[in-house]
Structure 1
Amino acid sequence: MEIPQKIASRLQQHVKSEVINICKKAGLTNVAYTKVGIVEREGKFYLYVKLKLLGKMPYEVLDSIAKLMREKYARKIMIDSPHLHAIRLSGEIRKEVFKEFKKRV
């Protein structure tokens, strides 16, 4: 199964804008970049948000991003640090999310 490129890019843009808004509301100015992507592993699609920081990040901001992902996009969120100063949140995308974004395109 493959996701149409329009749906994937629309979903990525939407999630990225929501994450940036959360960071702005919290007054977080030390985010170098935010990357949102969709990858396929073992027939399942995973959404990930990768934040590269130039300093520390309050736990509350990280928690609010995880809550956003859990409530809207994925059931279970995993958090790891792929390299220095980066945080990655990822989770399996719910099927309802694709249906919702298919209507928008």
Structure 2
Amino acid sequence: MKLYYSPGACSLASHIVAREAAALQSLDARTSPCRKARGTLQNYALLERSLTARQWLLGERFSAADAYLFTVTNWAPHVGLDISRLPAITAFQQRVASRPRVQEALIAEGLLRG
């Protein structure tokens, strides 16, 4: 199995999940990037309520859904969304970013210096 990625694109979520599962086999950074995030603060308000009640989107354990939310939420500043007034999402982003496998994926994609 090969995992292709373009730094910072949708593939970051898959990259994180593969590293969390220790299943990453091969990478190719020359694929086309996916579309930019198109969200609204209303969508994030719903997520804010969910993440106020629990640490991860689907319960007690980190999942692929968390990796994807982390990825698209990282796009917020680039698409004009200010999520700084959403403390649960901000805390979520920090929790995900502090995970060792997430840091490995960010470094591998050139989004974080090692």
Relative to the length of structure 2, the TM-score reads 0.25
| Structure with the larger strand share | 1
| Structure with the larger helix share | 2
Higher relative contact order (CA 8 A, sep 6+): 2
Relative to the length of structure 1, the TM-score reads 0.26
